[in-house]
């Protein structure tokens, strides 16, 4: 039943943000990803769920080019990006966040976001100091406000709290006109209030920006996604709406460790 | 609108002067007036030589402090500029010496050094940490032996002699006072350029790559290209130092670019401190003073021991070098001045 549902989605036509055809990744004898087929429409918001070691982050790494897939092809807005280096994929509008924050400890918050905006601009090599009126500085300011870090713009990243670092992690992915974002457990280690803020930020994203979110917190994942893909042992094994997934006994067995509620 | 802009520029100018602070202004005046008080020996052998090696250290500081790439090949880069000056300009070794005027030879020499630096960078950016040090040491050593054994370009063991700083604008730049000012001008220019550049877009990208290259890739940056360009820029500073060095010595030979000299540059940068571009100049002054006067203090047989001990003490007391020492002392000084205040 699930397979036929997935097949229907595969056959449907339309502009896809991301298409994965038979993507696999092996680390020696370990099969981290196997036969992943996925079609995600432009602007679609998808959650990828699965237990630890299911291959979710490996999937992200394959899409962003942190390593190449062993087999399969990846298309981004119709363009085959399988063999492109990571920075080329980013310049086409792909962004990601990391499960463990990957930040610039020696830079200020605003400079970090400024660099994120500048990364997709032609002035990456500029030997001039950016003026206060620089377009990328202005973008950085508006992103600072969007993720509620405006009072920390001149703070050194190393001195931010964990929650603020997670906010900055998201801010970096929002910079430079993204078309599609991969969020890797953005709520990890956040307080309940910070989680609510995160949900608000994700729901406030412009409609044309689609994303995949990996999230263990089902409350967050199901509130910010329209569709859910379940992974287990490197394979996609079930797809459906948040309601279908929440009610699925097999999902509850594997993911939630038994009957729920 | 134009009024606002004018007001803004005035504010930023004031800020700039304020940022410079009394310390830097006093230092600049002292350096400018130094020739009035110093003998020829102190002008060139201490003043000029410290500034030249300070620039070499600065070229390393830029790579290591901002970029996290510790290079032992900066003396090689300077050496390439020095050899280029000997080959493109005049020398009395009866080999090559194209006789180009200084204004043509110097830009070519500096550019050659920067390109060589970029090449060394391109080879070594695949490595990190200790491996970058090892590969640049290997490149420096290989260049040293190549220069020693190649007669067609490098004139082998004896190298080139009879290279003179030019005479122009009615000034003989080889004379102690003009040469000191030439070194000071070049050093201040390099220092200011790096201080400014550290806050430029490119400067920030280099520091961000030092902190997290993976994330920089995920923001659209071609990390290798940025690192190689940083090596190119460091090569401009190193090359300029190399030109001054060959004018200072009047000669260049494989000994100029040997492993001893390569390590001296590293010691200068580490002793001075890698956190701020002023560090290498402080380090160079200490090292040059030690190398010049240690022999008078403890005699010819023990002077290296004394130099080594001083370096050990500095690094032991402050892993951040002299800059770190200053950071430790500064709060105490401020407190003292508060106590002695009215």
- B205: which chain A residues are within 8 Å (Cβ-Cβ)? 115, 118, 124-125
- Domains identified in chain A, total number: 2
Look at residue A220 and tell me if it is in a domain.
yes
The interaxial angle of helices B259-272 and B279-298, nearest 10 deg, is: 110
Mutation target for B interface from A96, A129, A178: give the one with most B CBs within 10 A. A129
A125 touches chain B (CB under 8 A): yes
Whether the CB-CB separation of A52 and A33 falls below 8 Å is answered with: no
The interaxial angle of helices B223-249 and B201-211, nearest 10 deg, is: 110
B160: DSSP letter = B
pLDDT at B167: 85
CB half-sphere exposure, B208, CA atoms < 13 A: 35
Look at residue B180 and tell me if it is in a domain.
yes
Q: Which of A66, A90, A128 sits opposite B219 (nearest CB)?
A: A90
Q: By CA distance, what is B202's nearest residue in A?
A: A125
A74 and A186 belong to one structural domain: yes
The reply to whether residue B221 touches residue A87, judged by beta carbons under 8 angstroms, is yes
Query: Domain ends where: A161, A177, A193?
Result: A177
Bridge partner list, A232:
A235
Question: Distance between CA A95 and CA A45 in Å, rounded?
Answer: 14
Question: Distance between CA A154 and CA A145 in Å, rounded?
Answer: 13
Predicted TM-score of the model (pTM): 0.89
The reply to whether residue B197 touches residue A111, judged by beta carbons under 8 angstroms, is no
Average pLDDT over residues A91-97: 94
A61 and A186 belong to one structural domain: yes
A251 touches chain B (CB under 8 A): no
Distance from B8 to chain A by nearest Cα, in Å? Answer: 10
A113 touches chain B (CB under 8 A): no
Dihedral pair phi/psi, residue B313, rounded to 5°: -60, -45
pLDDT tens sequence across A40-60:
999 999 999 988 888 999 999
pLDDT at B323: 85
Average pLDDT over residues A107-125: 94
B169: DSSP letter = T
Look at residue A98 and tell me if it is in a domain.
no
Look at residue A121 and tell me if it is in a domain.
yes
Q: Express the helix, strand and coil content of chain B in percent, nearest 5 each.
A: 75, 0, 20
Residue showing tokens 């457990």? A185
The reply to whether residue B202 touches residue A126, judged by beta carbons under 8 angstroms, is yes
The reply to whether residue A86 touches residue B197, judged by beta carbons under 8 angstroms, is no
Considering only the C-alpha atoms of chain A, give the largest distance between any 2 of them, rounded to a whole number of Å.
60
Q: Which of B199, B203, B212 sits opposite A102 (nearest CB)?
A: B212
- Domains identified in chain B, total number: 1
Whether the CB-CB separation of A197 and A146 falls below 8 Å is answered with: no
Question: Distance between CA A25 and CA A71 in Å, rounded?
Answer: 7
Question: Distance between CA B9 and CA B94 in Å, rounded?
Answer: 56
A104 touches chain B (CB under 8 A): yes
Distance from B78 to chain A by nearest Cα, in Å? Answer: 23
Q: By CA distance, what is A95's nearest residue in B?
A: B218
A62 touches chain B (CB under 8 A): no
The reply to whether residue A103 touches residue B211, judged by beta carbons under 8 angstroms, is yes
A184 and A88 belong to one structural domain: yes
Bridge partner list, A20:
A38, A74
A58 and A119 belong to one structural domain: no
The reply to whether residue B220 touches residue A120, judged by beta carbons under 8 angstroms, is yes
A22 and A72 belong to one structural domain: yes
Query: Domain ends where: A150, A177, A204?
Result: A177
Q: What is the CATH number of the domain that holds A217?
A: 3.40.50.300
A78 and A108 belong to one structural domain: no
How far is the CA of B255 from the CAs of A197, B79, B156, B234, B258, in angstroms?
64, 10, 11, 22, 5
Expressed as residue numbers, the domain containing A200 is: 1-93+178-261
Tell me the pairing of strands A45-49 and A227-232: parallel
Torsion of CA A8, A10, A12, A14, to 10 degrees: 160
A146 and A185 belong to one structural domain: no
A108 and A153 belong to one structural domain: yes
Whether the CB-CB separation of A175 and A143 falls below 8 Å is answered with: yes
Look at residue A56 and tell me if it is in a domain.
yes
Q: Between vectors from CA A166 to CA A163 and to CA A171, what angle results, nearest 5°?
A: 125
A66 touches chain B (CB under 8 A): yes
Look at residue A5 and tell me if it is in a domain.
yes
**pLDDT truncated to tens, each residue of chain B (342 aa)?**
333 333 344 444 456 666 777 878 888 899 999 999 989 899 999 999 999 999 999 999 999 999 999 999 999 999 999 999 999 998 988 888 888 999 999 999 999 999 999 999 999 998 888 999 999 999 999 999 999 999 999 999 999 999 989 989 998 998 899 999 999 999 999 999 999 999 999 999 999 999 999 999 999 999 999 999 999 999 999 999 999 999 999 999 999 999 999 999 999 998 899 989 999 999 999 999 988 888 888 877 887 788 888 888 888 888 888 888 887 887 776 666 555 544
Question: Distance between CA B203 and CA B212 in Å, rounded?
Answer: 14
Dihedral pair phi/psi, residue B156, rounded to 5°: 55, -145
The reply to whether residue A107 touches residue B204, judged by beta carbons under 8 angstroms, is yes
pLDDT band at residue A257, thresholds of 50, 70 and 90? low
- B212: which chain A residues are within 8 Å (Cβ-Cβ)? 102-105
Look at residue B19 and tell me if it is in a domain.
no
A11 and A77 belong to one structural domain: yes
Q: By CA distance, what is A182's nearest residue in B?
A: B218
A13 and A88 belong to one structural domain: yes
Look at residue A13 and tell me if it is in a domain.
yes
A32 and A86 belong to one structural domain: yes
Closest alpha carbon to A66 in A99, A92, A89:
A89
Q: By CA distance, what is A111's nearest residue in B?
A: B204
Q: Which residues, other chains included, contact A140 with Cβ-Cβ below 8 Å and sequence gap of 6+?
A: A110, A113, A114, A116, A117, A175
Closest alpha carbon to A108 in A72, A156, A71:
A156
A135 touches chain B (CB under 8 A): no
Look at residue B162 and tell me if it is in a domain.
yes
- A129: which chain B residues are within 8 Å (Cβ-Cβ)? 196, 199-201
Look at residue A38 and tell me if it is in a domain.
yes
The reply to whether residue A102 touches residue B226, judged by beta carbons under 8 angstroms, is no
Question: Distance between CA B208 and CA B222 in Å, rounded?
Answer: 12
Look at residue B17 and tell me if it is in a domain.
no
Tell me the pairing of strands A71-76 and A227-232: unpaired
Whether the CB-CB separation of A210 and A48 falls below 8 Å is answered with: no
Expressed as residue numbers, the domain containing B134 is: 42-340
Look at residue B18 and tell me if it is in a domain.
no
A122 and A172 belong to one structural domain: yes
Query: Domain ends where: A155, A177, A199?
Result: A177
What SS3 state is found at A26?
Answer: strand
Q: By CA distance, what is A91's nearest residue in B?
A: B220
Whether the CB-CB separation of B113 and B239 falls below 8 Å is answered with: yes
CB half-sphere exposure, A228, CA atoms < 13 A: 23
pLDDT at A15: 79
Q: Express the helix, strand and coil content of chain A in percent, nearest 5 each.
A: 40, 25, 35
């Amino acid at each position: 039943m699930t397979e036929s549902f997935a097949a229907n989605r595969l056959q449907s036509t339309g502009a896809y943000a991301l298409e994965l055809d038979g993507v696999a990744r092996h680390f020696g004898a370990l099969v981290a990803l196997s036969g992943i087929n996925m079609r995600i429409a432009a602007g679609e918001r998808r959650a990828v769920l699965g237990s630890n070691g299911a291959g979710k982050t490996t999937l992200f790494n394959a899409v962003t080019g942190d390593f190449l897939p062993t087999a399969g092809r990846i298309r981004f807005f119709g363009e085959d990006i399988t063999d492109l280096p990571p920075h080329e994929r980013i310049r086409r509008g792909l962004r990601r966040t990391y499960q463990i924050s990957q930040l610039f400890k020696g830079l200020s918050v605003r400079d970090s976001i400024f660099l994120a905006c500048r990364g997709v601009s032609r002035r990456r090599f500029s030997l001039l100091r950016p003026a206060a009126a620089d377009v990328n500085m202005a973008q950085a300011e508006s992103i600072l406000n969007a993720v509620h870090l405006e009072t920390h713009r001149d703070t050194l990243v190393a001195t931010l709290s964990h929650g603020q670092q997670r906010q900055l992690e998201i801010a970096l992915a929002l910079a430079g006109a993204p078309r599609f974002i991969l969020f890797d457990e953005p709520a990890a280690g956040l307080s309940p209030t910070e989680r609510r803020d995160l949900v608000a930020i994700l729901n406030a994203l412009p409609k044309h920006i689609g994303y995949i979110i990996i999230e263990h917190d089902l409350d967050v994942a199901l509130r910010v996604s329209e569709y859910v893909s379940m992974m287990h042992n490197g394979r996609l094994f079930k797809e459906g709406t948040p309601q279908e997934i929440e009610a699925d006994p097999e999902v509850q067995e594997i993911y939630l460790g038994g009957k729920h509620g | 609108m134009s009024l606002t802009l004018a007001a803004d520029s005035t504010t930023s100018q004031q800020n700039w002067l304020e940022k410079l602070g009394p310390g830097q202004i006093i230092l600049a005046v002292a350096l400018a007036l130094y020739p009035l008080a110093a003998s020829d020996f102190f002008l060139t052998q201490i003043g000029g030589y410290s500034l030249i090696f300070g620039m070499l250290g600065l070229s390393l500081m830029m790579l290591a402090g901002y970029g996290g790439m510790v290079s032992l090949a900066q003396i090689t880069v300077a050496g390439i500029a020095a050899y280029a000056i000997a080959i493109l300009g005049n020398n009395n070794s009866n080999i090559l010496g194209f006789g180009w005027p200084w204004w043509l030879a110097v830009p070519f020499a500096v550019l050659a050094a920067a390109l060589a630096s970029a090449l060394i960078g391109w080879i070594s950016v695949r490595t990190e940490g200790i491996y970058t040090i090892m590969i640049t040491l290997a490149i420096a050593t290989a260049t040293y032996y190549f220069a020693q054994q190649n007669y067609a370009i490098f004139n082998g063991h004896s190298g080139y002699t009879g290279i003179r700083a030019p005479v122009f604008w009615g000034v003989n730049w080889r004379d102690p006072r003009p040469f000191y000012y030439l070194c000071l001008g070049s050093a201040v220019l390099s220092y200011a350029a790096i201080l400014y550049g550290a806050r430029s877009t490119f400067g920030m990208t280099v520091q961000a790559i030092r902190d997290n290259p993976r994330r920089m890739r995920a923001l659209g940056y071609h990390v290798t290209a940025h690192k190689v360009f940083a090596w190119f820029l460091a090569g401009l500073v190193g090359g300029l130092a190399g030109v001054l060095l060959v004018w200072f010595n009047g000669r260049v030979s494989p000994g100029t670019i040997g492993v001893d000299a390569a390590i001296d540059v590293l010691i200068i940068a580490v002793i001075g401190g890698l956190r701020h571009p002023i560090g290498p100049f402080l380090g160079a002054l200490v090292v040059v003073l030690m190398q010049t006067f240690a022999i008078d203090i403890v005699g010819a047989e023990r002077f290296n021991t004394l130099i080594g001990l001083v370096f050990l003490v500095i690094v032991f007391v402050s892993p951040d070098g002299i800059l770190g020492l200053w950071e430790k002392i500064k709060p105490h000084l401020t407190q003292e001045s508060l106590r002695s205040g009215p």
